[in-house]
Amino acid sequence: MLLAERMTSHPVLIATAIAGDEEMQRRIARHRSERGAHWTTVEAPLGVGEAIAKFSAGETTVVDCLTFWLFNTMQEQKHLESEVARLIDAIEKSPANLILVSNEVGLGVVPATTIGRDFRDEQGRLNQRLAEIADQVIFLAAGLPLTLKPER
Find, among 137, 99, 138, the residue nearest to 12 by Cα: 99
Catalytic residue among 10, 31, 38, 79: 31
Asked about 31 being catalytic, the answer comes back as yes
- The b/e string for 107-130 (b: 16+ C-beta within 10 A; e otherwise) is eeeeeeeeeeeebbebbeebbeeb
Catalytic site positions: 31
